[in-house]
Amino acid sequence: MSTAQGARARARIEVTAAIKDAARRQLAEEGAAKLSLRAVARELGMVSSALYRYFPSRDDLLTALIIDAYDSLGEAAEAAHAAAPAADPVRRWTAVCEAVRAWALGHPHEYALIYGSPVPGYSAPQTTVPAAARVGLLLIGIVRDAHDSSGLTELPLPAELRPEAERLAADLAPDLPPEAAAALVAAWAELFGLVGFELFGQFNRVVEDREAFFRHAVTRLATGVGLTAGP
């Protein structure tokens, strides 16, 4: 009994993975807007109605691809973070940022899926939130650690932003000063601005040595949120 169930479960996992792989291939060639269940089924030698045993709708397949992409990016970022020197917050920060960039360059279509234009007619459900939050949580952790070991520079905070900054801090990192929380969220968005501009061609004929440029830019982002180099 358990073997039969195990075999069935294994088969199900394999077919699910094959569907997602074919869908990712289609994503690269046609874009998310044109992702078609029928084309995926055709590529797998299945019939389109069979796919509905695995994904109840085209949008659910899209959602699975989005979560996978966020998780793949999050895993890459977390691995880079774990390998960085624990005592140096700036090195940890730049390690995460460079992992994000490397993942994006290696998975441009999945990056476009999660950080590019929204897919017309599709709205991401709340189930994508935990996976989407992983990189942000890593960055929060780095700043929190620096704050705990008194390694966080103080930042200015205009009165206009104080309520929002306090709300952000309460939501994301209650132990952080509000101005650090606000700076952190801005740096998070700015990081993806740098990555997106490179990936989507805005740096063509502008920035040549992108590696060096990016490293310097994210180092400045790190100091912008109050991090200072470790020993």
Partner DNA sequence: GTCTATAACGAGATAGAC
Partner DNA sequence: GTCTATCTCGTTATAGAC
Residues contributing to the site for DNA (CB under 7 A): 8, 11-12, 15, 35-39, 42, 46-50, 52-54, 56-59
Q: Among 8, 10, 12, 34, which residue sits at the site for a copy of itself (rule: CB under 8 A)?
A: 34
Integer Cα distance of 97 and 113 in angstroms: 19
How many Å separate Cα 44 from the centre of its chain?
A: 29
CB within 8 Å of 147: residues ≥ 6 apart? 175, 176, 177, 180
Which of DNA, a copy of itself, none has residue 124 at its interface (CB below 5 to 8 Å by kind)?
Answer: a copy of itself
Q: Which does 15 bind (CB under 5 to 8 A by kind): a copy of itself, DNA, none?
A: DNA
- Cβ-defined contacts of 184-190 (< 8 Å, 24+): 184/139, 184/140, 184/143, 184/225, 187/139, 187/221, 187/222, 187/224, 187/225, 188/135, 188/136, 188/139, 190/221
If you count them, how many residues does the chain have?
231
Smallest gap from Cβ 119 to a copy of itself, in A, equals: 7
Q: Considering the rule CB under 8 A, would residue 129 count as an interface residue with a copy of itself? A: yes
What tokens does 222 get? 């790190």
Among 83, 216, 228, 229, binds a copy of itself (CB under 8 A): 216
In whole angstroms, the minimum distance from the beta carbon of 8 to a copy of itself comes to: 37
Q: Can you read off the two tokens belonging to residue 181?
A: 């929380």
Smallest distance from a copy of itself to CB 206, Å = 7
- Residue 52 or 164 with smaller CB distance to DNA: 52
Environment class of residue 203 by beta-carbon count within 10 Å: exposed (0-12), middle (13-18) or buried (19+)?
middle
Coil/strand/helix, residue 158: coil
Using CB under 8 A, pick the residue from 7, 33, 50, 86 that binds a copy of itself.
33
Could you tell me which of 126, 120, 21, 121 has the C-alpha nearest to residue 67?
126
Q: Which is nearer to a copy of itself, 85 or 118 (CB)?
A: 118
Provide the minimum distance between the beta carbon of 203 and a copy of itself in the complex, in angstroms, as a whole number. Answer: 8
Chain positions contacting a copy of itself, by CB under 8 A: 29-34, 112-113, 115-120, 124, 129, 132, 157-158, 160-161, 163-164, 167-168, 171-172, 182-183, 185-186, 188-194, 196-198, 200-203, 205-209, 212-213, 215-217, 219-221, 224
